Structure 1
Amino acid sequence: MRISFQSFSFSLNLSFLNMMWQASLSIFLPVLLPGALAATTYDMVKEFSGSTFFDGWNFYGKFDNLTNGDAIFVTSSVAKSSKLAYVDSTTNRAIIKVDNTTKVALSDKRNTVRISTQDEIGVGSVWIADMYHVPYGVWPAFWSQAPNWPTGGEIDTFEHWNMELHNEMTLHTNPGCQQVSPAQTSTVVNSTDCSFSSNSNAGCGVMGPNDSSYGAKFAAAQGGVFITEFAESGISVWFFNRTSIPTSISSNSSSFSIADLGTPVANWPTGGCAIDTFFKPQNLIFDITLCGDAAGNKAVFAQTCSGICYDDYVVGDGSNYNNAYFDVASVRVYSVAGTNTLVKGNSALTFRPSSWATLGVAALSTGAMILLQS
């Protein structure tokens, strides 16, 4: 009887341990999942480069009625004939620029470019933009948004304005998304509330500490790469100057691991912002506008520029915009290995809010620069 009892007891303990193990997995798996995703391997599913770079993009084709810029976003035919969007035959890189040769009369606007991908890119993706030059002295951006903004959110990978020195990375969402406990190298956070309805739609912005991530120093350093991960575990942005690009990226590999990149410059974990709730498939966008609600705000403009944005820069012969261009080697889209997150479409995004024109934006920008310079 004693032996039978011990055998039964041993069997019962094994069963109990097995139940405990399964329970522990169910409890801790969500905690482990972000770490697992952090080392995710991605495979390339789309590439924009070389002579076909502009295939698969839509040109906005109307004046800037989105951010009240003093700009006309031209059609593809005008962009081609005016050489505002073309592939340089010497470098085989895409140029996206502001018209810097036409004399603009008072009350007119200046031609420039806004393009968006026809395909949307879903959660479980990375996009990498390799750029040798970015516009400055204007309001440029490389970013993404869902077609029904603010539903579906917005991810600003590269953006700032005028003669600022640092790139700013920002999310804009419906109310309820916050940046909570980020794992990032930047210590300059302008706001943790991503809601478009808070802080005049300033979003939850993070300033890059590298002063060659924007402007003249970016160009002098031969540019670099911006990398955005759009994952269930969170959204992250990395920036690498030309000389510090990880080997798996610089070699244009068709596959790479996020573990190769180290800690991102900016990070918005899903703990404060449920990615599947606040974000939907995104269209990638390049645009350059002039003045507008943010860059043309008098207080913001005066931080880095003299005079009046429209009167002293837009009007006239255009030579103010000799540095207002993107020089892009490639944009590559990756999906989690074994998947394809591209959503085929022909979307021509027509909306981005124009609610930047507040002193709040100026105060945020000023505060960020003070912190960066201190």
Structure 2
Amino acid sequence: MVLPRFITAVLVLLILPLSIQAATYNAIKEYSGATFLDDWDFYGHYDDKMNGDVNFVTAAQGVSEKLAYVDPNTSRTILKVDNTTTVPYPEKRNAVRITSKQSHEVGSLWVADIYHAPYGCSVWPAFWSFAQDAAWPAGGEIDTFEGVNLHPTAQMGLHTEGSAGCSQINPTQLSTLVNTTDCAGTNNAGCMVTNTNPNSYGAAFAQQQGGVFITEFAESGISIWFYSRKDIPSSVTQGATSIDTSTLGTPMGNWPAAGCDINKAFQPQNLVFTVTLCGDFARPENIFTQTCTGKCYDDWVIKDPSSYDNAYFDISYVKVFSTNPSATQSSATTSSGATGTQTGAQASSSNRSDKLKVTLLSVPVVVSAMLDLLML
């Protein structure tokens, strides 16, 4: 049966908006400059979450040992692994993990401008988020960036509680390497996607002066974009007061709400930067020997400290945006105060990944399609 053209056009309008959603987010919080570290908690404990061979320093240690500081020449924040101390067996090397004091709800988007990210044999860096007030993986986890050892690219993904029933279904994304689709999975492995941009990790990332990661945490789904520095869209600047996702193109990873009830599976997210050594992801022999030689701890953590000369984050800024008009607009300015606290985050465990994003079409495009149908 052939439907009347007008009815066909109406059906198009009814169906398309379910999958083609763009949104404008307004700036509510910025972490940058001399006060970057003021609104983050230092873990201040050995790595008992990812089982890494590090002691995460307190704020005071971070300052005194020059492992967490703002570079006075660039005003960018440095978070690093100790690369000067010879660590005796069976001790652990000092490193940094920080968690934002403020959590960010569904309807948020955050931008991280990073010039350098840690890499090297035994190194496992990540920029991610989780529900600090929930017992992991309840409350969900979003992994924006995660690298390991000397692997050439990073990965992205979600971790959710099994009862949430989350999976990656029909994503619209640039990545062609989907590692897992069940967001719980065996041993909470999550639904992970490889960032197929060749400059997303390691020496290539550093040579390109890093880039920008954007995470959208929305009811319609979760999306992650990555741009090397030369490819950052003109709409994405530190001074931007809003971001329209229709200007961002197709995300690298996308997890639509069709496969996951975001409000059910995720609680407000605290942002995290961490770099650990070995641990559940970098240590296993089947992973470590893909790009490195020897034993993760024996031949790297307690040997030449200069092996960690590249194990540092160099962060220009992190900026959070929201669609919630009642969000605190005054916090859109740079945070202020002293250098962080020593409170430990209640954090998660290993392996992380990415998600997919829907095609972004504006309402005028849909209306134009309907008019074309009417003219037939």
Q: Structure 1 residues 224 and 46, CA, compared in 2 at 3 Å: closer, same or farther? A: same
- Report SS of the residue matched to 2:74: coil
Match of residue 280, structure 1, among 267, 278, 283? 267
State the partner residue of 2:190.
203
- Considering fraction of residues, name the structure with more helix: 1
TM superposition shift of 1:39:
2.0
Distance (whole Å) between structure 2 residues aligned to residue 264 and residue 274 of structure 1: 20
Distance (whole Å) between structure 1 residues aligned to residue 41 and residue 263 of structure 2: 26
State the partner residue of 2:169.
180
TM superposition shift of 1:231:
0.4
| Cα deviation digits, residues 56-78 of structure 1 (max 9, x gap) | 10000000011111000000000
Alignment of 1:1-374 (within 5 A): 32-35=17-20, 38-137=21-120, 138-147=123-132, 148=134, 149-175=136-162, 176-195=165-184, 198-250=185-237, 252-336=239-323, 338-340=325-327, 348-353=344-349
Which stretch shifts more, 270-279 or 198-207?
198-207
TM superposition shift of 1:31:
5.7
- Report SS of the residue matched to 1:43: strand
One-letter amino acid of the structure 1 residue matched with residue 255 of structure 2:
W
TM superposition shift of 1:289:
0.3
TM-score, structure 2 length as denominator? 0.83
One-letter amino acid of the structure 1 residue matched with residue 126 of structure 2:
A
The structure having more radius of gyration, on CA atoms, is 1
One-letter amino acid of the structure 2 residue matched with residue 43 of structure 1:
N
Distance (whole Å) between structure 1 residues aligned to residue 38 and residue 238 of structure 2: 23
TM superposition shift of 1:250:
3.0
Q: Tell whether the 8 Å contact from 2:174 to 2:250 is kept in structure 1 after alignment.
A: yes
Would you say how many aligned residue pairs link Structure 1 and Structure 2? 329
The runs of 5 or more residues in structure 1 that have no matched partner are 1-20, 365-374
Distance (whole Å) between structure 2 residues aligned to residue 174 and residue 45 of structure 1: 29
Using the aligned pairs only, state the percent identity: 52
One-letter amino acid of the structure 2 residue matched with residue 189 of structure 1:
V
Distance (whole Å) between structure 1 residues aligned to residue 254 and residue 240 of structure 2: 24
Distance (whole Å) between structure 1 residues aligned to residue 349 and residue 245 of structure 2: 32
Q: Tell whether the 8 Å contact from 1:66 to 1:351 is kept in structure 2 after alignment.
A: yes
- Report SS of the residue matched to 1:54: helix
Q: Structure 1 residues 186 and 350, CA, compared in 2 at 3 Å: closer, same or farther? A: same
Distance (whole Å) between structure 1 residues aligned to residue 290 and residue 243 of structure 2: 40
Q: Structure 1 residues 125 and 29, CA, compared in 2 at 3 Å: closer, same or farther? A: farther
Q: Tell whether the 8 Å contact from 2:45 to 2:344 is kept in structure 1 after alignment.
A: no
Q: Tell whether the 8 Å contact from 1:79 to 1:113 is kept in structure 2 after alignment.
A: yes
- Report SS of the residue matched to 2:157: strand
Distance (whole Å) between structure 2 residues aligned to residue 316 and residue 300 of structure 1: 20
Q: Tell whether the 8 Å contact from 1:41 to 1:337 is kept in structure 2 after alignment.
A: no
Distance (whole Å) between structure 2 residues aligned to residue 100 and residue 159 of structure 1: 21
TM superposition shift of 1:201:
2.0
Distance (whole Å) between structure 1 residues aligned to residue 282 and residue 172 of structure 2: 30
- Report SS of the residue matched to 2:209: coil
Distance (whole Å) between structure 2 residues aligned to residue 349 and residue 43 of structure 1: 27
- Point out which structure has higher relative CO (alpha carbons under 8 A, 6+ apart): 2
Which stretch shifts more, 331-340 or 233-242?
331-340
Distance (whole Å) between structure 2 residues aligned to residue 126 and residue 207 of structure 1: 21
